[in-house]
Amino acid sequence: MPQSPMVRTVGIICKHDNPEAYKAAGGLMSWLSGRGIASVIDSHAAGRMKIEGVEAKDIPACSDAIVVLGGDGTLLSVARLIGSRGTPIVGVNLGTLGFLTSVSLSQMLSTMETVVSGQYKVQERMLLTASVRRGGKTVEEHDVLNDMVINKGALARIVEMETYIDDSYVTVFKADGLIINTPTGSTGYCLSAGGPIVHPTMSCIGITPICPHTLTNRPLIIPDTAVLEVALRSGTEDVYLTLDGQVGIQIKCHDIIVAKKSAHKMYFVMSPDDDYYNMLRAKLKWGQS
């Protein structure tokens, strides 16, 4: 992706039913208009603001950059809409933990100043392609920004997952599930499950078992060139593959879940004040008693 392409139209997508997001969107649209920049806003927010909007799914096609006003869940849903387009994202955090929406509301206009002047910098984030093979055929395939999680239902028994990396046998994980994540996703579910924090610009794949039956099963980091295959060996039907915490696919015994680096990337616009380690310290409350 070329560095800092010209921005003529900015898309705006808001967290649903969040008055603070609608207020910020209105202010941003006025600010952009004063600089001769067009804006389009998602129809759900537009309806609440009583202005004209477009369907969220159509915004990436008509925008040179997209501002997401909300939290990480909203941004992950927008990432799915962008797909392979490579439209840069400005993630504005509205008060939640927000590792992905790293621009604060107070930083929004200074960040957008760099965007409209063409002086902005983007940070590339790798994606994973998650696929499900059943009976030798690929029945599902999606790109994910954060993670793909194999997890059991509330009443299911421990899941048995036979795991291979580049066709080399690794082990059978016996656990409540398995998290396969990008570096971006290392501060998501992976972090809660005891996985390592990985700088988001690195190129690697994380594997973290959830409550493993064997306590020596530990998190593993593998190269982004690797292809990971996980064969479900459990007889239970109550097992799912969850993508970025938002898309669920029921998987069956003998299904093979494949994870590999996607050919596509996401691009995050960085705040002029961005400091990843300051962000970690603030959000994880390091050094606070």
Tens of pLDDT, residue by residue over 164-201, are: 999 999 999 999 999 999 999 999 999 999 999 999 99
Q: How far apart are the first and last CA of the chain?
A: 43
Nearest to 269 by CA among 76, 71, 113, 136: 113
User: Tens digits of per-residue pLDDT, 104-147?
Assistant: 999 999 999 999 999 999 999 999 999 999 999 999 999 999 99
**Would residue 17 show up in a list of annotated catalytic residues for this protein?**
no
- The pTM assigned to this predicted structure is 0.93
The C-alpha atoms of residue 81 and residue 58 are separated, in whole angstroms, by: 8
Residues 6+ apart with CB under 8 A from 125: 145, 182, 183, 184, 200, 201, 265, 266, 267, 268
Q: Which CATH architecture describes the domain 9-121+270-284?
A: 3-Layer(aba) Sandwich (3.40)
Report whether CATH 3.40.50.300 matches the domain 127-263: no
Per-residue pLDDT at 85 exceeds 80: yes
Strands 220-223 and 204-210: antiparallel
Domain ranges of the chain: 9-121+270-284, 127-263
pLDDT band at 153 (very low <50, low <70, confident <90, very high): confident
Q: Hey, what amino acid is at 255?
A: D
Nearest to 266 by CA among 52, 123, 159: 123
Nearest to 115 by CA among 65, 54, 46: 65
Do the two domains 9-121+270-284 and 127-263 of this chain adopt the same fold? no
Compute the residue count for the chain.
Answer: 289
User: Tens digits of per-residue pLDDT, 189-239?
Assistant: 999 999 999 999 999 999 999 999 988 999 999 999 999 999 999 876 789
- Indicate which residue of 72, 147, 244, 255 is catalytic: 72
Model pLDDT, residue 1: 44
Model pLDDT, residue 4: 59
Residues 6+ apart with CB under 8 A from 172: 160, 161, 162, 163, 233
Per-residue pLDDT at 3 exceeds 60: no
